[in-house]
Amino acid sequence: MKIHEYQAKKLLAAAGVACPRGIVAKTPDEAAKAFTELGGKIAVVKSQIHAGGRGKGRFKEYPDQAGVVLVKSADEARQNAERMLGQTLVTVQTGPDGKRVNVLFVEQGLNIARELYLGVVVDREAGGPVLILSSEGGMAIEEVAAESPEKIHREPVDPGYGLFGFQATKLAYRLGLEGNAIKSAGQFLPKLCRFFLDNDCSMAEINPLVVTEEGEMLALDAKVSFDDNALFRHKPFSELRDLNEEEEAEVQAAAAGLSYVKLDGNIGCLVNGAGLAMSTMDLIKLHGGEPANFLDVGGGANVDQVTEAVRIIQADTNVKAVLVNIFGGIMRCTTIA
């Protein structure tokens, strides 16, 4: 489950992770008021959607308007908010359709000395979480990995303890930090890793992670997602879910107890078992086709669930045919029929 930046920063701040001050705004007047309340000479007005690349993104309706804007007055905050709210922001991660902006986050300006990249993800090869740091903040980590892999530093995170102090210090020196920045990193990095572990995150990305002129390390951005399979342990997180940001068919499928992911092809898939579902999609691709979806009805689906599954598949106007592939060992084929 993904959440917005402003929601992530509220959780991070509660966990002791340093973040700039920010205020949520849902109207132009609220954006202007937020600028005044923050009390600085500059602020940043940020579009809130479930996608990265907002700073380089552009609005369909206003091609010259970026998704993240630096403002120097309450009036500028209001004017930019008027152009951003209710409009469609297109970024490298949204695809050409973009996403509608309904919420803004107005954040205090900082005296930034350096921009870094930080991410915590689950490394399947390492069999646990890994902290990734790079001196190239503000850039897509995939580009850095391809062009300058020596600038990426990885450190395994102990699933029980978290990140050890000596690891944080070692990473700080690798990044060339000095003075107060090393001390700040020694607090920031372990707390961020502890947050990742305690909340069953699947990803926590801070890009950019900034070091101010005063040597303070802060999360200038925050992209956090949680493992859906662990949400039963975090009931309050359900309130953070923004259904407007999710694929309607996927929400409908989840409500019916089905595992469904919409894709761009034209061959619908009705399968049971995640492994078989993925293998079926691979076979379709192998023979030149394009799957329209991943759909796992599981091993205990009833007639109503299977019926809903077919409805969801056929609601996709791209679907020209449906391939049914059922393993009878865990699902009654008569139910499917």
Which active-site residues does the annotation give?
117, 205
Phi, psi dihedrals of residue 175, rounded to the nearest 5°: -85, -5
50 in Cβ contact with 99 (< 8 Å): yes
Pairing type for strands 99-100 and 128-134 reads unpaired
- Ranges of H-type helices in the chain: 5-14, 28-38, 74-84, 141-147, 165-174, 180-198, 248-255, 274-286, 303-315, 333-336
CA 55: distance to chain centroid? 15
Residue 119's alpha-carbon distances to 55, 153, 212, 214, in angstroms, are: 18, 11, 19, 23
Q: Which residue has the tokens 């600085």?
A: 40
| Per-residue DSSP letter, 31 | H
CB 44 within 8 A of CB 107: yes
The answer to whether 305 and 335 have CB atoms below 8 angstroms apart is no
Residues 279 and 266: their CA atoms lie apart, in Å, by 17
Query: Any residues with CB less than 8 A from the CB of 151 and at least 6 apart, and which?
Result: 134, 135, 136, 144
The tokens describing 65, both together, are: 């308007």
Instruction: Classify burial at 184, counting beta carbons within 10 Å of its beta carbon; exposed 0-12, middle 13-18, buried 19 or more.
Output: buried
Count of C-beta atoms within a 10 Å radius of residue 333 = 11
d(CA 11, CA 314): 39
Q: Which amino acid type is present at position 260?
A: Y
H-helix or E-strand spanning residue 152? strand 152-156
